[in-house]
Structure 1
C-alpha cells in the first residue's frame, strides 16, 4: 500500500455511474441504518465491538490526524486497532493537505471499508489545526481534497460535515418561520452537491452549524434538504437521544441512516432499541470492562472516560467509587473500580429492581443521565 500516489480507480465514469457505485457499495456493507460516530479517544476497538453487539451496523474509528498517521508508525500502531469482526469500518482522517491525506488513506485502505474526511469537528483545537468544521470556510479546498482522493483509492471516500449558516442576504430576507425555507440551506446543499460531483460516496450531515455545537435543537430540515438534493446515500447526525428517535429522524429527514455519538456513549444499546436506565448501564459497563481487558485502549483515560459515562448515574449513587475512579491511573485499576461499581449497582438492582429499571433518557427521569446533564426539553431552535 505504502504512501505512493497511485491511481487505482478513476472518476472518468459519468455522474450516474458514480451514484450507482455509491449505492452498490452501501448495499455491499448491508445498507446500515444504525451508525456509531467517530469520536476522539472514544470510538476505539473495545467500544466499537460493544456497540456492534448492541445493534450498531457501521462503525468509525476515532478521528485520526492524517499527518501523524502518514509519517509515524507508532501513532498508527497506538491509534488504529483492527479486528476481524470489526467490519464494516470507516477510517476518519482530519487534515487540510490532499497529498498528506492521500498518503494516510493509502496506508489505511487495506484494513477498512471506506475513508472519511472530517469536516465536522467544531472544537478550538480544530481551528488551530485548520481541520474539521473550520474547513467549511473554504469549500473549494474540501472539494479539491475529495477530488484528489476519490480516483486514487480502492475504497470509497466519505465526508462528514456540519450545516453552513445562511449568508447574510438570505438571512435578512427570510421571515422567522418553521420549517425554515429551503433557501436557508442553499450553502449547505451547494457544497454537498459539489462534494457528490467530486467523488464523495456518502455524506453525513450534522444538523447544526459549527458555532451552534449542541446549544440548539438539531435542524432535521437541513438534513432533509440535503437528502432531497443528493443522489448518494446520506447519513443524519444529531438530535437523537432515545431509541425511538432513530426512526423519527429517519422519517423526518429521509436519510438512509442515523449516526449517534453522545447518546451512544452512555447507552450503546440505543441501536437495538433499549432505553437508558441504571440497570441497562451497569450491564453495558460490565461488558465494556471485559472488552477493554481483552482489547486494551491506548491509555487508561480512554476506559475511564467510558466508565464515567456508562456508570454516570450509578457513580452518583456511590460517590466513593466515583472518587476512586477519578484517582485511578492505570488501566487495571480503572477496570477494577469499574467492576466494583457494577457489583454495587447489581446489589441495588436486586434490592430496588423497578427503580433501577426506570427509563432515564428524558428530562423528568428520577436519575439524571450523562447525556441529559446539560440538556433541557426545550432547546432553542
Structure 2
C-alpha cells in the first residue's frame, strides 16, 4: 500500500531526516512505514501541466461539477477537515466505518510550497484514500495555485478554507476572515478553477445577514467553485456546543445553488445525518468533533451520552472506543504521522475512560516521548481496571411506530 509523500526524496530518507531533526518529540513521525509497500511510492518530481478551464461557459462548468460528483459515487458521509486530526490514519479508520469521502487537515499554502518537511509530514495519502479533498488556507492566488498543483494528481478536489474562525486565522488573514475581502476570495477561486485539472471546492461559514450569505455562495459558484460546503454557523459562533448550526440557512443556500452542496454542523450520530439530509436537501454531510470521539459514527454507532434521554432503543454494539483506538494505532504504524496527532486522538477517543481512571491519563500526559508499546499498554491497563464504555446501536429487533402509524 503506497504512501504518497510530496517530496523529491524517498519516503524512508524523508522520515530519517525528520527524526534526526531537533524539536518537540511530538512533532516527530511515529514510525517508519511497516513492510514493503504494494507498488512504488509516488512522488512529485515536477508540477503537472495546467489544464485551463477558463474557456468553459458557466453552464458547462455546472454540468462538469455534477458529472464529477456523480463519478465519485455521490458520497453522503464525509470526514470534515480538522487541523492535526483528519490525517491519513484517522481518515482510513473513518472510511472503514462508513465514511465515503474525507478532507485532509487544513494545509498552509505558503508553507506547503516552501518547506519539504512540512509537505512530507502534513500530507500523505494512499490509493484507498479516495475520494479526497485537500484543503488549503491562503490569501494569495498565485501561492495557492502553486500549492494546489503539487497535490492535484492525488486528490478529487482542491478545497479553499474560507471558514476557519480562530484567532490564528485572523492573524494570518485567511479562513473566515477573508469574508471581509470578497474580491480576493473570488480571485483565488478563479485562479484555481481556470488552471487546475481537478475541481475547486470551498468551505464557508454564514454571514450574520441572510442575503449576504446567499450572495456570497452565488459569487463562489460564478467564480468556478464546483462544490460548496456550508458550516451552519457564523464566524463569531465558534463554540459548537453553545451555538446550534442553522440548517434552515444551509437549506436556503442549497435552494439557490446549481452545484453540489454539503452541510456541516449538529451531527452527533447517524440519525442526525439523515435528518440533516432531509431538512436541507444537501448532497452530503460533514462531521468533525463527533467523529473524533466516535470514528464509527457513520456505521451507526453512538456514544453513551447520545443514548441517555433518546427515544431510540439502543443496545451494546459490541464495539468500544478502545477497540477503535487500537485500530487507529495500527493504521499509524502503516502510515506514519507526527506523534502530536496521535496523542490528540488518544485523548479524544479515551476521554470518557480517562475520567473514570484519571491516573492513567496523567501517566500519558507525563510522557514526553510516546511509543506504540506504551499506548497499547494504556488500553490494556484500562481494560485490566475493568473499564469498558460501549458504543451503542439502535436495536434492529424493535419496531417503533411513528405518529402517522408507519413503522420506523
Band the TM-score falls in, shorter-chain normalisation = 0.7 to 0.9
Asked if 1:330 is matched to 2:355, the reply is no
By how many angstroms is 1:6 displaced? 6.0
Distance in 2 (alpha carbons) for counterparts of 1:192 and 1:236:
13
Work out which of the residue numbers 154, 158, 166 in structure 2 matches 1:111: 154
Distance in 2 (alpha carbons) for counterparts of 1:196 and 1:297:
35
CA RMSD across the alignment = 2.0
Distance in 1 (alpha carbons) for counterparts of 2:187 and 2:201:
14
- Given that residues 360 and 382 in structure 2 are in contact (C-alpha distance below 8 angstroms), is that contact kept between their aligned partners in structure 1? no
Distance in 2 (alpha carbons) for counterparts of 1:312 and 1:206:
26
Deviations 1:82-136 (A, max 9, x none): 2111111111000100000000001111111110000011110000000001001
Alignment of structure 1 residues 169-318 onto 2, 5 Å: 185-213=210-238, 214=240, 215-277=242-304, 279-298=319-338, 300-318=339-357
By how many angstroms is 1:294 displaced? 2.1
Equivalent position of 1:147 in the other structure = 190
> Which ranges of structure 2 fall in alignment gaps of 5 or more residues?
1-43, 305-315, 394-408
Partner SS state of residue 213, structure 2: helix
- Given that residues 2 and 107 in structure 1 are in contact (C-alpha distance below 8 angstroms), is that contact kept between their aligned partners in structure 2? no
Q: Report 1 or 2 for greater relative contact order, CA contacts < 8 Å, sequence distance ≥ 6.
A: 2
Asked if 1:341 is matched to 2:378, the reply is yes
Distance in 1 (alpha carbons) for counterparts of 2:384 and 2:47:
57
Equivalent position of 1:365 in the other structure = none
Asked if 1:40 is matched to 2:78, the reply is no
Q: CA 1:108 to 1:4, structure 2 compared with 1: closer, same or farther past 3 Å?
A: closer
Q: Structure 2 length as normaliser, TM-score?
A: 0.78
Q: Which has the higher helix share?
A: 1
> Which ranges of structure 1 fall in alignment gaps of 5 or more residues?
167-184, 361-381
By how many angstroms is 1:15 displaced? 1.8
Alignment of structure 1 residues 46-65 onto 2, 5 Å: 46-65=89-108
Q: May I ask how many residue pairs the two structures share in their alignment? A: 335
Distance in 2 (alpha carbons) for counterparts of 1:261 and 1:137:
25
By how many angstroms is 1:23 displaced? 0.8
Equivalent position of 1:123 in the other structure = 166
Deviations 1:253-303 (A, max 9, x none): 1110000010001111111111124952111111111112222212x1210
Distance in 2 (alpha carbons) for counterparts of 1:188 and 1:331:
45
Distance in 2 (alpha carbons) for counterparts of 1:129 and 1:294:
34
